[in-house]
Amino acid sequence: MPRYKLTVEYVGTRYSGWQAQRNARTVAGELLEAVKVATGGEALELMGSGRTDAGVHAVAQVAHLDLSGTHDPRDLRHALNDALPADIHVLGIARVDHRFHARHGATARQYLYQVSRRRTAFAKPFVWWVKDPLDTDRMAIAARLFEGRHDYRSFCDRDPALGSTLVHVERCRSDLNGPLLLIRVRASHFLWRQVRRMVGVLVEVGRGTFTPEDVDAFLRSDSREPARFTAPPSGLFLERVDYEGEASDPDAPVRPAVSVRTPR
């Protein structure tokens, strides 16, 4: 049974997340339909590195795909892209060992969030426009407090099957790029809505609602306060997924997934 590693980019605006659902349009659902058209058969398994929420985008989602027959990766990629809607695109396909697992084998996941400090006509589906002035220096200080191993029970939706809410965040940084405030978060895994709640709290630090000390307190307590400030999905991108032998440069500059130009 051949297994293929897929790297996929998509605009999540029209979809109810990654995971295939019976009564909703999803990214995985569109890929499964494209497999039927491209190969004439059903996928035996399609598994993503993680489930992105409704409206969340991906620069490089990784998935593994099991097919009953052998296909040339290059031809398969072209056939899938011909069958997919324009807002989903397979960047690459490689034949991999059957032991490769897109979800369980991932060693790190990296998300990028884009906050726009100005109203934009072109990038609205890809940013969260915050009208209020933001103290970006205070936000940068608060962002670093997320780094390390913490209990994120105050930053996720409760799920009885979730298990531990401990997460080791390798890096959480915010950088300015013209009108954009870019927040990059990297960890081994993430909890449901964790990144959006982290961003929401950081924006409130920028607004002056919270202080960096409040962020530290949320990480040490069980608070429902961060849930009130969950950032919208529009600005969130799954930026990259790493596997053993792969690593990103922690000091690499944070670049936007979709740019917003500085007005003249």
Give the active site residues: 53
Taking alpha carbons only, the member of 63, 59, 30, 29 closest to residue 49 is: 63
- Could you give the angle at the alpha carbon of 27 between the alpha carbons of 87 and 124, nearest 5°? 45
Q: Which residues pair with 149 in a beta bridge?
A: 168
How open is the CA angle 99-101-104, to the nearest 5 degrees? 120
- Do 172 and 109 meet the contact criterion of CB atoms below 8 Å apart? no
Q: Find all residues with CB under 8 Å of 100, minimum gap 6, and list them.
A: 3, 5, 64, 243
Continuous H helices in 156-240: 194-207, 212-219
CA–CA gap between residue 153 and residue 157 (Å, rounded):
8
Separation between Cα atoms, residue 229 and residue 195, nearest integer Å: 12
Helix count and strand count (H, E) for the chain: 5, 10
Selection from 137, 112, 145 nearest residue 240 by Cα? 112
Three-state SS at 192: coil
Count Cβ atoms within 10 A of the Cβ of residue 139 and give its class: 0-12 exposed, 13-18 middle, 19 or more buried: buried
Neighbouring C-beta atoms of residue 177, cutoff 10 Å:
15
